[in-house]
Structure 1
Amino acid sequence: MKKFCCVVLAMLPLTAFAYPIDVQKTLNGLSIDYNTDDTDSDIASIQVNNFGTTDAICKVVFNNGPEAPRTRRVEVPAGKHSYATAKFTRTIIKMRIDLTCEPK
């Protein structure tokens, strides 16, 4: 029984890795979709997919709370995808991402 309890306690930190990600999007009529990922405990990333026929320029703002927001600008050609990532100095508890896309 002691061995079983030790194994369960040893695996506990492995299950508490993910953090919630909220995305606020302003797409301005473009056919844009996204996928978010918690790459590491202090790195967040987003994949921006353009399903339309018009190239897009997107501004991505990563906000972790007490730290300064990280702003990334990505160009997403029609029918392609692009990635944006941000690294923070603290462990992320909750990530808020503002995605704003405009036609090129």
Structure 2
Amino acid sequence: MNKFCCALLALLPAVALAYPIEVEKQYNGAEIVYDTTDIDGNMAAINLQNLGEARAECTVRFINGPETPRVRKAVIDGGKSAYLTAKFNRAVIKLRIKLTCNPK
């Protein structure tokens, strides 16, 4: 029983690092798929993949509470992908991402 409790306590920090990520998306006709990742307690990333043939211009706003939003922009050719990251000064409790893409 003692070993079980120690193993359970050892796993707690790994669970505490994860935070929820909400994505508000607006594709405007672009064929984009995304995947979000929490890299660290104060860092996040989004991977954008363009499934269409037309080039897409995307703007991503990473919003972490009272901090200034981090804005990243990418132009993604058809069949290609882009990986955008943001680092914050404070630990992230809940991250909101606003994704806006337009075909070019």
TM-score w.r.t. length of structure 1? 0.93
> Match of 1:46?
46
Partner Cα separation in structure 2 for residue 83 and residue 11 of structure 1: 29
Measure, in 1, the Cα distance between the counterparts of 2:49 and 2:6: 44
One-letter amino acid of the counterpart of residue 73, structure 1? K
Deviation digits for residues 45-79 of structure 1 (CA, Å, limit 9, x no counterpart)? 00011001110110000001111100000111111
For structure 1, which runs of at least 5 residues remain unmatched after alignment?
none
Q: d(CA) in 2 for partners of 1:7 and 1:52?
A: 47
Q: How does 1:1-104 map to 2 (within 5 A)?
A: 1-104=1-104
Q: After TM superposition, what 4+ stretches of structure 1 lie above 3 angstroms from structure 2?
A: 1-4
Report the 3-state secondary structure (helix = DSSP H, G, I; strand = E; otherwise coil) of the residue aligned with 2:12.
helix
* Number of residue pairs the alignment of both structures matches: 104
- Structure 1 counterpart of 2:11, one-letter code: M
**1:14 counterpart SS class:** helix
Deviation at 1:13, TM superposition (A): 1.3
Secondary structure of the structure 1 residue equivalent to 2:6: helix
| Alignment-mate amino acid for residue 65 of structure 1 | G
Q: CA deviation at 1:86?
A: 0.3
- What CA distance in whole angstroms lies between the structure 2 residues aligned with 1:9 and 1:39? 22
Shift in Å, 1:8: 2.2
Structure 2 unmatched ranges of 5 or more:
none
Q: Which amino acid aligns with 1:90?
A: R
Q: Which amino acid aligns with 1:34?
A: Y
Q: CA RMSD in A?
A: 1.2
